[in-house]
Amino acid sequence: MSKDMPIIIPGSVEDCACPKCGAEFQLDTTSILPAETDLTISLNITEGHLIMAKTLAGVIESFAEMQEEIGKSMDLDTSVLIGGLKFEDSRIDITFRIANAVKGQVA
Over residues 4-22, the mean pLDDT reads: 75
Q: What is the reported pLDDT for 90?
A: 87
pLDDT score at 81: 94
Report the Cα 37 to chain-centroid distance in Å.
8
The answer to whether residue 1 sits within a structural domain is no
Q: Which residue has the higher pLDDT, 15 or 38?
A: 38
49 within domain boundaries: yes
Q: Which residue, among 70, 69, 83, 67, has the nearest Cα to 3 in the 3D structure?
A: 83
Residue 92 lies in a domain: yes
Query: Could you tell me if residue 78 is inside a domain?
Result: yes
pLDDT of residue 2: 46
Domains identified in the chain, total number: 1
Q: Is the pTM of this model over 0.75?
A: no
In a domain, 2, yes or no: no
Asked, for residue 47, whether it belongs to a domain, the answer is yes
42: domain range?
Answer: 7-102
pLDDT, one tens digit per residue, over 54-102 is 999 999 999 999 999 988 888 888 999 999 999 988 899 999 999 988 7
